[in-house]
Amino acid sequence: MSLLNLLDSKLAETLRVILTQVNTDTYKWYSTTTARQEISVRCGISIPSVNRYITRLKEKDILTQQSGSSRGEYTLNRKIIEL
């Protein structure tokens, strides 16, 4: 079963958009205003909802923050990359 099938639809949509924004060399994603606005438009959800979905992705360890990384700088979990 696909990982995206395990997530509710708006959370999965949010992750799909983030995956299009991830730097494929470093697997880093930056939660910039522009990135969040693109998620909002493409998923048809409000910015506060985008922020909640990002928090849920962090809680599920799909997006991780390394110690010493900049605010809003996330890395896609390596286990997800291997799937």
Domain region containing 69? 3-82
Spatial distance between the Cα atoms of 12 and 5, rounded to a whole number of angstroms = 8
Residues in the chain: 83
Lookup: tokens for 51: 């922020």
**Residue bearing the bigger pLDDT, 35 or 60:** 35
pLDDT of residue 46: 97
The CATH number that applies at residue 51 is: 1.10.10.10
Helix (H, G, I), strand (E, B) or coil at 2: coil
Q: How far apart are the C-alpha atoms of 6 and 19, rounded to whole Å?
A: 16
Per-residue pLDDT tens digits for 61-70: 999 987 777 8
- Tally of domains within the chain: 1
Q: pTM here?
A: 0.83
- Residue 47 is encoded by which pair of tokens? 């910015």
Strand residue runs (E) in the chain: 28-30, 63-64, 73-76
